[in-house]
Amino acid sequence: MKTLVSVGVLVGFVLTVAAPLPAAGFQEGARRGSTPAAACGDVLAFQVLLDRQGFSSGEIDGKFGTNTKRALSAFQEANKLKPSGMLDCETWSALGGGDQRSATTEYTITDADAAGPFVEHIPESLPDQASLPSLDYSSLTEKIAERFHASPALLNHLNADKRFEPGTTITVPDVTLFDAGTKPAHDTSAGEVTVEVTKAGSLRVVGADGKTVFFAPVTSGSSHDPLPIGHWKVLSVSWLPEFHYNPDLFWDAKPTDTKATIKPGPNNPVGVVWIDINVEHYGLHGTPEPSRIGYTQSHGCVRLTNWDAARVAAFVGANTPVIFQ
């Protein structure tokens, strides 16, 4: 994603390039032969525990895909375990899998949840998106899925016999709730942090003591707009930003495209937050397509799921070092 910031206004959009996505189907346990100790916990349980420890697999989807393997490897390395990226019992124990807390919990849908507002149809064209009063969630299922860092497919799987409506109690991943409408409080627990982003598709927030305090998968760069390798710094953080599209900045823009201002919301092209850095046209931000994080390319910027972008935004401030490597 390439963007131009001018007086707090964003210009740019996400490039979606076809790439392999995770295999379909929720896995009650790990694939036979892919993990040495699936008996310790299934994929969903590992994803939830990793998320609680600050090692995100992006969308919690119950699938043993690339993002989960990367989160496992990062957690294992940070805890001086063999970074195999596999679901082994030693990692399960280090994650706290031996306690009595379940990977899922119950949540009762409220009237406020169902009240929306929702946008039933979000057009692909950015100029057409600009006609919408907001870029809110498109459904109650999408809203609740993001709140619990989950894929809508997983949420439907866990609640196959239930209707998503006020008063219904559903099963959800037991993680810290994400609220797209609330700016996260600044997190000073790790002291002065550094953000590290790799071309391979990962982001780390490193504390003053050198330890990884947060890890997440990202989408960054393409052959047209490669990640600008180097040492940078945060200039500012904008919560629920507007998005100003300028087709002149994009090699794949349609000849008929015109400049357009797109209203804020979780389905805004840059999601719920924009973290501006001191390299022209680039930043870190959320996304309206969490399932594609780590599996597609962007126009150069660093995309995360909305809930992961919010976590990063809580750690950083003006002058926080950002290293692209």
Tens digit of pLDDT for each residue in 168-180? 999 999 999 999 9
**Residue 146: CB atoms within 10 Å:** 26
Report the domain count for the chain: 2
pLDDT (mean) for 20-43: 50
If asked whether residues 243 and 316 sit together in one domain, one would say yes
Residue 103 within any structural domain of the chain: no
- Between helix 66-78 and helix 43-52 the angle, nearest 10°, is 50
Residue 232 within any structural domain of the chain: yes
pLDDT band at 99 (very low <50, low <70, confident <90, very high): confident
Residue 118 within any structural domain of the chain: no
If asked whether residues 58 and 23 sit together in one domain, one would say no
If asked whether residues 62 and 84 sit together in one domain, one would say yes
Nearest to 11 by CA among 303, 247, 254, 278: 247
Residue 117 within any structural domain of the chain: no
Residue 50 within any structural domain of the chain: yes
- Kindly tell me if the per-residue pLDDT of 246 is higher than 80: no
Check residue 198 and give its pLDDT: 94
Check residue 36 and give its pLDDT: 40
Q: Structure tokens of 80?
A: 């001086």
Q: What is the CATH number of the domain that holds 297?
A: 2.40.440.10
Q: Under 8 Å CB-to-CB from 298, ≥6 apart: which residues?
A: 1, 14, 15, 219, 220, 221, 222, 225
Tens digit of pLDDT for each residue in 141-151? 999 999 999 99
pLDDT (mean) for 79-95: 95
If asked whether residues 78 and 216 sit together in one domain, one would say no
Percent residues over pLDDT 90 in the chain: 72
Question: What is the pTM for the complete model shown?
Answer: 0.88
Please report, for residues 4, 102, 304, 321, the alpha-carbon distance to residue 28 in angstroms, rounded to integers and kept in the order given. 44, 15, 26, 40
Check residue 297 and give its pLDDT: 58
If asked whether residues 250 and 168 sit together in one domain, one would say yes
Nearest to 258 by CA among 246, 274, 276, 249: 246
Residue 313 within any structural domain of the chain: yes
Domain ranges, residue 78: 38-94
